[in-house]
């Protein structure tokens, strides 16, 4: 027969086991939250480092992203490169595309598609880019992306996610010597002085 003393010891041991399990789960969840926060900081730092380049070149992008760019296409105005591997903020890259103007060396567009998704999009934007302008995905295309854009002078930086993913899967940085004007919204024409009134003969 099991004594009351042994039963109490067994009950106390069971309670201690449950407490230990609860503490372990809390620590595990907490470490996950810390890891997610660190991932968001690392992601933002990677974007800032990339956008801080005053001048981009094929070697600069290759060294920054550990990628090997190959010439993809070119025309009279643009030279484009692509890569199908690399690393960004510790994450594997699926594809990189770099387009640079032949007329203005600094004018480049860099698009990074991630094989491993980045931090949660909404959490990242709310914490680091609260001033970002959102553009929703098109409801008519499953390939459309929702994205958020910030402007730093004439430069633009965007992060986006695929239609079925809550995490960032694409980073786009556009370095522009001067802000491109929207042809549908041209800058206002400054007022011109009225012609002089002719004198009476």
Q: Is residue 169 part of a domain?
A: yes
Provide the token pair at 25.
Answer: 């789960």
Within a 10 A sphere around the Cβ of 42, how many other Cβ atoms? 16
Alpha carbons 111 and 150: distance in angstroms, whole number: 15
Note whether 171 and 96 are within 8 A (CB). Answer: no
Q: Is residue 201 part of a domain?
A: no
Whether pLDDT at 176 is above 50: yes
Alpha carbons 89 and 116: distance in angstroms, whole number: 11
- Could you identify the residue written with the tokens 């295309």? 141
User: What does the pLDDT look like over 101-139, one tens digit per residue?
Assistant: 988 878 899 999 999 999 999 899 999 999 998 888 777
- Could you identify the residue written with the tokens 């990628």? 67
Of 12-21, 116-125, 139-148, 187-196, highest mean pLDDT: 116-125
Rounding to the nearest 10 degrees, give the CA dihedral for residues 32, 160, 165, 92: -60
Please state which of the ranges 7-21, 75-89, 172-186 shows the lowest mean pLDDT. 7-21
User: What does the pLDDT look like over 81-90, one tens digit per residue?
Assistant: 999 999 999 9
Note whether 100 and 75 are within 8 A (CB). Answer: no
Note whether 68 and 91 are within 8 A (CB). Answer: no
Domain assignment of residue 95, given as a range:
31-137+146-176
The residue-averaged pLDDT of 93-106 equals: 90
Number of domains in the chain: 1
More confident residue, 149 or 162: 149
Residue by residue, DSSP assigns 33-84 as HHHHHHHHHHHHHHHHHHHT-SS--HHHHHHHHT---EEEEE-SSEEEEEES
Whether pLDDT at 96 is above 80: yes
Within a 10 A sphere around the Cβ of 9, how many other Cβ atoms? 11
Write b or e for each residue in 143-161: b if 16 or more Cβ atoms lie within 10 A of its Cβ, otherwise e.
eebbbbbbeeeeebbbbbb
Q: Is residue 98 part of a domain?
A: yes
* pLDDT of 19: 42
């Amino acid at each position: 027969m099991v004594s009351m003393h042994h039963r109490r010891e067994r009950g106390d041991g069971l309670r201690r086991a449950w407490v230990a399990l609860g503490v372990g789960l809390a620590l595990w969840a907490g470490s996950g939250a810390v890891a997610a926060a660190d991932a968001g900081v690392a992601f933002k730092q990677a974007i800032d480092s990339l956008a801080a380049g005053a001048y981009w070149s094929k070697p600069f992008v290759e060294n920054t992203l550990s990628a090997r760019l190959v010439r993809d296409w070119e025309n009279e105005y643009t030279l484009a490169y692509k890569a199908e591997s690399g690393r960004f903020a510790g994450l594997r890259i699926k594809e990189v595309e770099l387009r640079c103007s032949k007329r203005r060396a600094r004018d480049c567009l860099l698009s990074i598609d991630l094989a491993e998704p980045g931090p949660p999009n909404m959490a990242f934007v709310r914490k680091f880019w609260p001033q970002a302008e959102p553009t929703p995905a098109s409801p008519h295309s499953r390939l459309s992306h929702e994205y958020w854009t910030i402007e730093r002078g004439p430069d633009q930086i965007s992060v986006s996610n695929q239609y079925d993913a809550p995490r960032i899967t694409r980073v786009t940085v556009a370095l522009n010597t001067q802000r491109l004007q929207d042809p549908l919204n041209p800058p206002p024409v400054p007022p011109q002085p009225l012609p002089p009134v002719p004198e009476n003969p």
